[in-house]
């Protein structure tokens, strides 16, 4: 069984400040990890993914995440927040075997203060 925990249902940062969204996972097999972003009334867009290659993964819009097996974490960061980053962010995990789908965390709503 797999699970994802996202700490903080809401995170508020000032424009230009560091963004840090936390994700911890539980998986009995080597995981494949993803971060998705959802803007209001839209579908999900992939930000980045970890699939057992480099542990530091760079994604779109200046986001990156680091896979830390010892901490079972995959936190999402961005050095400087922009107003357009305000959205809902989801961390997800899959085992990669067959078609078992993604297990999502409960999401973190990112608020950008001007």
Partner 1 sequence: DTAVSQTPKYLVTQMGNDKSIKCEQNLGHDTMYWYKQDSKKFLKIMFSYNNKELIINETVPNRFSPKSPDKAHLNLHINSLELGDSAVYFCASSQQGSDEQFFGPGTRLTVL
Give the range of 18-26, 60-68, 71-79, 90-98 binding partner 1 by CB under 8 A. 90-98
102 binds partner 1 (CB under 8 A): yes
What would the x/- binding string for partner 1 be over residues 20 to 59, using CB under 8 A?
Answer: ------------x-x-x-x---xxxxx--x-x--------
Place of tokens 């990669």: 96
5 binds partner 1 (CB under 8 A): no
90 binds partner 1 (CB under 8 A): yes
Q: What is the 3-state secondary structure (H, E, C) of the chain?
A: CCEEECCCCEEEEECCCCEEECCEEECCCCCEEEEEEECCCCCEEEEEEECCCCCEEECHHHCEEEEEHHHCEEEEEECCCCHHHCEEEEEEEECCCCCCCCEECCCEEEEEEC
Give the range of 11-19, 64-72, 78-86, 98-106 binding partner 1 by CB under 8 A. 98-106
100 binds partner 1 (CB under 8 A): yes
* Residue numbers at the binding site for partner 1 (CB under 8 A): 32, 34, 36, 38, 42-46, 49, 51, 88, 90, 94-104, 106-107
């Amino acid at each position: 069984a797999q699970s994802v925990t996202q700490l903080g249902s809401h995170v508020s940062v000032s424009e230009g400040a560091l963004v840090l969204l936390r994700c911890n996972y539980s998986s009995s097999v080597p995981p494949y990890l993803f971060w998705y972003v959802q803007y209001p009334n839209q579908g999900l867009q992939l930000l980045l993914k970890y699939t057992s290659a480099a542990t530091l993964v760079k994604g779109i819009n200046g986001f990156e995440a680091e896979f830390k097996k010892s901490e079972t974490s995959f936190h999402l960061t961005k050095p400087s927040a922009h107003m357009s980053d305000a959205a809902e962010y989801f961390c997800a995990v899959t085992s990669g075997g067959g078609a078992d789908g993604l297990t999502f965390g409960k999401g973190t709503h990112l608020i950008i203060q001007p």
